[in-house]
Amino acid sequence: MGRVRSVVLTVVAPGAALGLAFAVAWLILGLTGADPAATLSDALRYGIQPSTLIAVVNKAVPYYLAGIAAAIGFHLRLFNIGIDGQYRLAAFAAAVVGAAVALPAPLHVALIVLVAMVVGWAWAAIAGLLYVHRGVNVVISTIMLNAIATGIIAYLLSPLRLAQQAAGSNNVTTATIPDSGWVPGIPTAAGDLNGLVALATLVGLGYWIVLHRTTVGFEVRGMGLASRAATVAGIRAPRLALLTMAASGAIAGLVGLPQLLGTSHRFGLDFPAGLAFTGLSVAILGRNHPIGVAVAAFVWAFIERSAQVLDLAGVSKEVVTILQAVIVLSIVVAYELVRRIRARQERRYVANSVEGVRA
């Protein structure tokens, strides 16, 4: 019975949080003068169209990768705020290398993926080393590394160095990656799915296997749940912290690849930025579980895509930002309530067990 109650609490908590978020959205839409029922209904109808759902999945792929990267750090209570710098620097390096070589298609794509992961791994490892050897807070170091990564990209992304500028265009880009380095879409009746969906699926599967079926994963979970007990048991916290940050960075390096290999095939000034906080939010909503993160990434992308209808209703798109923020806050509060309820139930169970033994 306790098991069933625990599962119910886990399901009800995010559901209640989403309900609260949409209640707030309803209120805000009403305050702006729009018809909440009609607006949300139109957004939902638009969102469930097959072509829109394909676009939502494509939009969710980088969110999912960013969420997994954040979740890896969360297991050890490390907040990798540097995902943005890691994936942008990784995508830039991968674009430069990918455009400079000529290889058969599978090897070309594999090289680009490898370069992205290595650059993301190395950039995140800097924060890990600073944390392990100098005690520098990971949040602070990764924020600073974001700024440094932005500066490096700004310096190198120049027609005088590693980029080019087409005549009549204000956009500066790297050279275009040859066709052999592209990842084709997966054709469906409603449109093409981004080919990197397969890579994202493998990343999620690998993340779960490492976390739940390996010694390192057991140590990471143990250190995150009870650091003192894990240390007493002989688990080395510094080694795990460095390993976790590096692994988080390696996955973060993949975040820009759906855009690079599936759409733009080059890195430019217009390359997507700001996915770090989306990844952090998605990881929180998904409770660091690969399936939960996938659902959260889809919901996040669905809300953003459906928001295009708001323009037709004369409603500002900032309503979506408010909705997303309320969802995150509501989920955090709901999960904390669930944690406290479970702790109370466990204390009651232990007390009853002790009384039974005494009797």
DSSP string, 154-192: HHHSSTTTT-EE-TT---EEPPPPPGGG----EEETTEE
Q: Which amino acid is at 268?
A: G
Rounded to an integer, what distance in angstroms lies between the CA atom of residue 54 and that of residue 47? 10
Beta bridge partners, 186, equal 193
Residue 165 · residue 283 · CB < 8 Å: no
| The predicted structure's pLDDT at residue 1 | 44
Q: How many folded domains does the chain comprise?
A: 1
Whether 134 maps to a domain, the answer reads yes
Q: Which domain holds residue 212?
A: 64-308
Whether 142 maps to a domain, the answer reads yes
Rounded to an integer, what distance in angstroms lies between the CA atom of residue 14 and that of residue 6? 13
Beta bridge partners, 192, equal 187
Torsions phi, psi for 270 (to 5 deg): -95, 10
% helix, strand, coil for the chain, step of 5: 75, 5, 20
Rounded to an integer, what distance in angstroms lies between the CA atom of residue 246 and that of residue 121? 5
Residue 277 · residue 66 · CB < 8 Å: no
| The predicted structure's pLDDT at residue 266 | 95
Whether 10 maps to a domain, the answer reads no
Whether 24 maps to a domain, the answer reads no
Whether 43 maps to a domain, the answer reads no
How many C-beta atoms lie closer than 10 Å to residue 280's C-beta?
A: 22
| The predicted structure's pLDDT at residue 5 | 62
Written as six digits, the tokens of 352 are: 């009853």
Burial of 343 per CB tally in 10 Å (0-12, 13-18, 19+)? exposed
Helices of type H across the chain: 2-31, 36-47, 50-74, 83-100, 105-134, 138-156, 197-213, 215-225, 227-232, 237-252, 257-259, 276-285, 290-306, 308-312, 318-358
- Residues in the chain with pLDDT values less than 70: 1-11, 349-350, 353-359
Whether 315 maps to a domain, the answer reads no
CATH code: domain of residue 153: 1.10.3470
Q: In Å, what is the CA distance from 241 to each residue of 84, 247, 324?
A: 20, 10, 30
Whether 192 maps to a domain, the answer reads yes
pTM score of the predicted model: 0.91
| The predicted structure's pLDDT at residue 7 | 63
Whether 97 maps to a domain, the answer reads yes
